[in-house]
């Protein structure tokens, strides 16, 4: 836990992550987002972070890589908590 978190003070980045996590969890809980939607979001963030998108992320490489890693962990958590089908990867299931 960071020093600021122990003191009850967060920075704007921490606040944004808390809001993002809460929003994604709520949307998943209400079935407004499927597990497949979250996987597509992960792929889109990864493309933007690696610069292979038409709209690359404007942050530095370290932050972009961190964002991809964070979103993967959040996706794994949401998958475990709320379940759902994975995205079909071109194979007929």
Per-residue model confidence as pLDDT tens digits over 64-73: 788 888 888 8
Percent of the chain with pLDDT over 90: 1
In the DSSP assignment, the letter for residue 91 is S
Per-residue model confidence as pLDDT tens digits over 31-74: 898 888 888 888 888 888 887 777 766 667 777 788 888 888 88
pTM of the model: 0.61
DSSP string, 11-76: -HHHHHHHHHHHHHHHHHHTTSS-HHHHHHHHHHHHHHHHT-SSS--SS-HHHHHHHHHHHHHHHH
In whole angstroms, what is the distance from residue 39 CA to residue 7 CA? 35
Percent of the chain with pLDDT over 70: 71
In the DSSP assignment, the letter for residue 90 is S
């Amino acid at each position: 836990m960071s020093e600021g978190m122990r003191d009850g003070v967060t920075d704007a980045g921490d606040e944004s992550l808390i809001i993002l996590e809460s929003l994604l969890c709520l949307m998943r809980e209400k079935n407004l987002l499927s597990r497949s939607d979250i996987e597509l979001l992960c792929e889109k963030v990864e493309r933007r972070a690696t610069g292979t998108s038409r709209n690359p992320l404007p942050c530095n490489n370290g932050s972009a890589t961190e964002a991809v890693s964070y979103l993967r962990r959040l996706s794994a958590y949401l998958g475990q908590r709320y379940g759902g089908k994975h995205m079909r990867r071109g194979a007929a299931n």
